[in-house]
Structure 1
């Protein structure tokens, strides 16, 4: 059993979608959970209630991932509330898809702030509070490997940055037994990319298995990396994309 009983995890952007599925799965494996959310307090409260129904403690922290001070504060509040921090899942993300000529400076700045700076700031803050043997896991994207449509230049660039960050942090923190990995989901059935959306049939055709993932399937890989069975896996990027990039 890849249990993490008695540990604490912070999942950024954990109020819905993949983040909520990750938070619930880690709770089911024994961890107390903090999540961050930006706007939807009601959805965050629902996720907290689901976590608490497993018997674990839960905390929702409002934080805009584009604000480094709020990111640092979320890490500190998690560690202070639960008395420890063992797992950080950098899930909060900004999804901007547009033709190159139409990208605005504001879109570029926010995407890079949320998808690149925030994971680095969170990792920096977490490393100072994290127990030896901790885990840092990023949520990347399959478009770091294969771009099926035009318009992904900004988003792909931001998620590709996580790969270099993951490898460098794995090297830097490995002496403390802290592993750092990135999971690349493919098409996943969420509100932002529903399996019955207008492009769903086309997207399914790019996968080897012919379907979308459910958030719980991505969460299962994150949970594996968070547990003791993955103690020798670090600096890795793992696709959970149904063969999209095969």
Structure 2
């Protein structure tokens, strides 16, 4: 139902909400670390806030016209489409939804059809895109960030510092990606930021001096930004 010029950005809202949640959780952990001995209980307990928001939001979330049509409630689907569009003349779009529903229902053995030669390119992309998303190394970098911060002299708070920094970078870069994806297109972002991530993983294995440590942190942030502009949300 999303307008074409906003579809890419709206599709990223899930990723934006995820990164915002990670950042807020990191800030809560950082803020409650000194509240001994019950700080960790407060940190965990505050998770009830987003849980309540999502539960209440689910109560007020209405159906979509496509979903109603798929379940046989065609007239309800039409009325909802009229309400969403704000006009009564939705004949063309409603008919498209009906045709798509009938076409989907007419397909026999849909899962078996996925393996046919004509559908193989889509199947390969559906498997390889999330696979290469993980193989970019983002999980390794985020996982070892606390170790890096500790080696730079942040002590026992290294994990909190690294999670706070990377969490902020994750959210801000996803916000930027949401704003520009419909202007630049997915292909440009995937290729250009893929190149940036490759460059960020080149480096010399040496003892971490203060200056070199700052450079490494900057490169980690650049890698995270490139990932969240492209392979992360797309």
Q: Same fold (TM over 0.5)?
A: no
Structure with the bigger percentage of strand: 1
Q: TM-score range by the shorter chain?
A: under 0.3
Q: Please, what TM-score do these two structures have when normalized by structure 1?
A: 0.24
More contact order relative to length (CA 8 Å, sep ≥ 6): 2
Which structure shows the bigger proportion of residues in helix conformation? 2
Task: Give the TM-score taking structure 2 as reference length.
Answer: 0.25
